[in-house]
């Protein structure tokens, strides 16, 4: 969700969202609703008084250690010399330490992960840090997907065009449970929290939330890239976003957002621990038994998705469930006002 703030700068109300994908099918679908502005995302991390590329690459290593690594092979050997063998990779800490060693783990991952998730990497599933690669080249792009771009007029405009159809009635600020009976349907697509759908009968699924502090600044630019990560636990926020890098907007002022992870608030990130997956599986068993309901999206499947992945899931669900059917579809999602 993007909008103009009081300064007239386009911001992302709920933190930075960057579109990237390797699927031409997904690009073709979304291109029905938006033109694109090419954008390759770059992130810097504030470490040891320096701003260095993240994910870790050869430039990062040379800056931090005063090295003169010139080839991929030299960088790979440098990392291998610091890596610590881990017999069985189980946790996020295991993933990083076995790949790059304890020093880089502590500089980039330990504090950031503790802030982001409210627990140590050794307590989290290996999937958390396996999403962030380590590179031996000098590619400083955060993503390497074949298609990287931002909606030319923003995400909100893209969704407005998507929803502009005579068969779609949109209600905002309405609880799904209060509206369901007013819309007779043969099949329901539910994208809200799966535990809430089933009345929390097995207990609540744990999530991590975020708090955003938006600021407008009387200068043209604040930082060199859209996002700067702050891994140190001495800094209370995890990252700072400057949106003009993302949007390409020309403005004599700039707006930034400080991002503070929180245990309370809207559900953003499913917490990747085995016991949470086991709890979800109990709800999933109930969902499978609901032949007239399809559960789609992060909250309904208790899984982290990038934007392109959730679009792909939606398209695949439609093709699987509805493309050869005349069933009346009622799509329901809990939408914050």
pLDDT value at residue 188: 93
pLDDT value at residue 322: 87
Write the CATH number of the domain with boundaries 169-206+271-337.
Answer: 3.40.50.720
Residues of the chain with CATH 3.40.50.720: 169-206+271-337
Helices 58-65 + 72-82 axis angle, to 10:
60
Structure tokens, 309 = 């992945």
227-229/43-47 β-pairing: parallel
Rounded Cα distance between 215 and 231, Å, is 21
Q: Do the Cβ atoms of 316 and 245 come closer than 8 Å?
A: no
16, 98, 216 from 7: Cα distances, Å: 18, 46, 7
pLDDT value at residue 206: 97
Kindly give the confidence (pLDDT) of every residue in the chain, 337 residues in length, as a single tens digit, with 9 standing for 90 and above: 999 999 999 999 999 999 999 999 999 999 999 999 999 999 999 999 999 999 999 999 999 999 999 999 999 999 999 999 998 888 999 999 999 999 999 999 999 999 999 999 999 888 887 767 899 999 999 999 999 999 999 999 999 999 999 999 999 999 888 888 888 889 999 999 999 999 999 999 999 999 999 999 999 999 999 999 999 999 999 999 999 999 999 999 999 999 999 999 999 999 999 999 999 999 999 999 999 999 999 999 999 999 999 999 999 999 999 876 544 444 444 443 3
pLDDT value at residue 210: 97
Rounded Cα distance between 26 and 151, Å, is 13
Query: Which residue, chain included where needed, has tokens 């029905």?
Result: 32
**Nearest Cα to 133, choosing from 125, 144, 119?**
144
pLDDT value at residue 89: 87
171, 175, 231, 335, 336 from 178: Cα distances, Å: 11, 5, 43, 13, 14
- CA dihedral 274→275→280→286, nearest 10 degrees, is 120
The number of angstroms, rounded, from the C-alpha of 133 to the middle of its chain's C-alpha atoms is 15
pLDDT value at residue 286: 98
Structure tokens, 250 = 């020309």
CB within 8 A of 116, min separation 6: which ones? Answer: 208, 238, 261, 269
269-270/227-229 β-pairing: unpaired
Query: Which residue, chain included where needed, has tokens 């608030």?
Result: 265
Rounded Cα distance between 32 and 45, Å, is 36
Give the chain as a 3 state SS string. Answer: CEEECCCCCEEECCCCCCEEECCHHHHHHHCCCCCEEECCCEEEEEECCEEEEECCCHHHHHHHHCCCCCCHHHHHHHHHHHCCCCCCCCEHHHHHHHHHCHHHHHHHHHHHHHHHHCCCHHHCECHHHHCCCCCCCCCCECCCCCEEEEECCCHHHHHHHHHCCCCCCCCCCCCHHHHHHHCCCCEEEECCCHHHHCCCCCCCCCEEEEEEEEEEECCCCCCCCCEEECCCCCCCCCEEEECHHHHCCCCCCEEEEEEEEECCCCCCEECCCHHHHHHHHHHHHHHHCCCCEEECCHHHHCCCCCHHHHHHHHHHHHHHHCCCCCCCEEEECCCCC
Q: Residue count of the chain, please give it.
A: 337
């Amino acid at each position: 969700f993007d909008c103009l703030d009081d300064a007239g700068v386009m911001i992302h109300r709920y933190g930075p969202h960057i579109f990237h994908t390797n699927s031409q099918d997904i690009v073709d679908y979304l291109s029905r609703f938006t033109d694109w502005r090419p954008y390759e995302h770059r992130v810097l991390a504030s470490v040891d008084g320096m701003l260095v590329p993240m994910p870790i690459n050869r430039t990062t290593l040379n800056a931090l250690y005063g090295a003169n690594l010139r080839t991929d092979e030299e960088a790979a050997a440098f990392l291998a010399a610091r890596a610590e063998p881990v017999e069985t990779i189980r946790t996020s800490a295991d993933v990083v330490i076995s790949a790059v060693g304890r020093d880089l783990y502590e500089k980039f991952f330990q504090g950031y992960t503790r802030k982001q998730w409210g627990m140590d990497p050794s307590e989290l599933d290996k999937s958390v840090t396996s999403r962030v690669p380590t590179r031996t080249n000098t590619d400083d792009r955060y993503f390497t997907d074949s298609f990287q771009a931002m909606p030319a007029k923003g995400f909100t405009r893209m969704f407005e065009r998507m929803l502009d159809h005579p068969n779609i009635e949109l209600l905002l600020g309405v609880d799904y449970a209060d509206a369901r009976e007013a819309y007779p349907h043969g099949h329901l697509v539910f994208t809200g929290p799966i535990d809430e759908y089933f009345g929390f009968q097995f207990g609540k699924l744990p999530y991590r939330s975020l708090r955003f502090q938006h600021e407008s600044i009387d200068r043209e630019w604040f930082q060199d890239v859209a996002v700067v990560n702050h891994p140190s636990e001495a800094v209370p926020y995890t990252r700072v976003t400057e949106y003009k890098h993302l949007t390409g907007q020309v403005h004599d002022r700039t707006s930034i957002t400080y991002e503070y992870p929180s245990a309370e608030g809207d559900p953003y990130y499913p917490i990747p621990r085995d016991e949470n997956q086991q709890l979800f599986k109990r709800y999933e068993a109930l969902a499978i038994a609901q032949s007239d309901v399809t559960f789609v999206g992060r909250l309904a499947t208790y899984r982290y998705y990038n934007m392109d992945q959730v679009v792909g899931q939606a398209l695949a669900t439609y093709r699987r469930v509805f493309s050869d059917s005349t069933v009346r579809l009622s799509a329901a999602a809990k939408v914050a006002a």
